[in-house]
């Protein structure tokens, strides 16, 4: 998953879907899981941290069904790094953002999206599939409009394998059955968040990096500052797992 930059001084204004939060924070804390789930259900981004002894990174996550062109554009604007493999895979001359979409394995099977490589050598076994673009009403596939169309199509139960071209500019990730109770990753978190909020099980995600000369990864306090700046809720993968452990019946939150 490609990093998204945490900028200390963003020049563009926040889109209508985001709201700045200026109240000073005297000590670190996560947001309550209930309010985070409600925000996610309403179409807001969440910042989700994994454990400090794993990746110790934060991801922006939003439900694919809520990912409008405006929200995708905001996500792309904060992205500063693209892995070289994506540059080689893409036919575009100018790229911005290695944004991924997490989906259940059975849905990827229905869409005929196999794994990207036969032998996964990723350190945390992030399960990348072949990349795709939605073929209807799109152009090169890289714009915010095209990518938002692709993720919404991947989230739609009505989409078929023939609706997508391969390779493309969106990177599906195969979430493990059992979600965060099986694998404590951002991929599983994205799908679990959708399931727990009654949304189509498809979550768009992208890692956060600091907007510095080295492009360093955003750690806990960096991510907290970013979330506060943009009025986003911040939780951890462990909080999500604990919610699932204490709600074993798969209970979803109620719509307000």
- How many angstroms separate the CA atoms of 114 and 112, rounded? 6
- How many angstroms separate the CA atoms of 9 and 254, rounded? 37
Six token digits for residue 68:
């409008």
52 by Cβ neighbours in 10 Å (0-12 / 13-18 / 19+) ranks as exposed
In which residue are the tokens 């309550």 written? 32
User: Which positions are catalytic?
Assistant: 55, 59, 100, 128, 133, 169, 186, 207
- How many angstroms separate the CA atoms of 60 and 116, rounded? 23
- In the chain, % helix, strand, coil (3-state, to 5) comes to 30, 20, 50
- How many angstroms separate the CA atoms of 46 and 93, rounded? 31
Among 54, 5, 25, 64, smallest CA distance to 236 is for 54
In which residue are the tokens 């799109």 written? 138
* DSSP-assigned beta bridge partners for residue 204: 62, 101
- How many angstroms separate the CA atoms of 90 and 22, rounded? 39
Q: For the chain, first and last CA: distance in Å? A: 32
Contact 237, 58 (CB under 8 A): no
State the Rg of the chain over Cα. 17
């Amino acid at each position: 998953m490609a990093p998204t930059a945490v900028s200390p001084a963003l020049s563009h204004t926040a889109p209508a879907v985001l709201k700045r939060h200026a109240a000073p924070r005297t000590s670190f804390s996560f947001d309550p899981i209930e309010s985070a789930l409600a925000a996610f259900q309403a179409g807001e981004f969440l910042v989700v941290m994994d454990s400090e002894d794993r990746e110790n990174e934060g991801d922006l996550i939003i439900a694919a069904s809520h990912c409008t062109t405006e929200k995708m554009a905001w996500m792309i604007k904060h992205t500063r790094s693209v892995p070289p493999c994506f540059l080689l895979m893409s036919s575009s001359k100018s790229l911005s953002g290695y944004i991924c979409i997490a989906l259940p394995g059975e849905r990827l099977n229905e869409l005929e999206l196999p794994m990207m490589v036969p032998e996964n050598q990723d350190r945390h076994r992030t399960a990348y599939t072949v990349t795709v673009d939605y073929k209807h009403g799109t152009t090169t596939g890289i714009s915010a409009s095209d990518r938002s169309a692709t993720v919404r199509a991947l989230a739609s139960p009505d989409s078929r394998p023939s609706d997508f071209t391969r390779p493309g500019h969106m990177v599906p990730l195969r979430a493990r059955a059992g979600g965060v109770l099986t694998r404590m990753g951002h991929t599983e978190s994205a799908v679990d968040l959708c399931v727990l909020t009654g949304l189509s099980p498809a979550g768009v995600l992208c890692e956060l990096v600091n907007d510095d000369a080295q492009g360093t990864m955003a750690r806990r306090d960096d991510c907290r500052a970013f979330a506060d700046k943009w009025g986003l809720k911040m939780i951890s993968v462990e909080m999500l797992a604990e919610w699932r452990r204490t709600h074993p019946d798969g209970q979803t939150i109620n719509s307000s």
